Structure 1
Amino acid sequence: MGVFKHQYFKIALITNIVFMLGLGFGRVLSFFMDGNPTFGYQFGTFAEIFLGFYGVWVFKNLK
């Protein structure tokens, strides 16, 4: 909805930031507790953290 309706964009972006950074940092915590995971898990972690911080950057540059 945030893509099609401008009034929903900000809340959709905030939701995405919280969700992606929550997943990413949860996986990083799992790295320390459970040891080194498979490549796919590592790639997913990097992608989630990247998308979370990209959302922060987009939110910061909103007019």
Structure 2
Amino acid sequence: MIDRYGVNLSYDKAQAKENITLRVTAVVVVAGVVVVVVVVVVVVVVVVVVVVTVVVVVVVVVVVVVV
């Protein structure tokens, strides 16, 4: 479809649709990366807390047994 200025309107619509698709894809990819980073950080924090707790318990048990 060509308008009175000779611009191909159907091409513009297709281009606009493609641009929107690319933007949505970019947003979804960024959101996915953010979710993965948050999950990794949470897992690391949980692992650190568990390790610290185990070390503290072991130290307390050793101190109690020795003393």
Instruction: Give the TM-score taking structure 1 as reference length.
Output: 0.44
Instruction: Give the TM-score taking structure 2 as reference length.
Output: 0.42
- Structure 1 or 2: more helix by fraction: 2
Larger radius of gyration: 2
Higher relative contact order (CA 8 A, sep 6+): 1
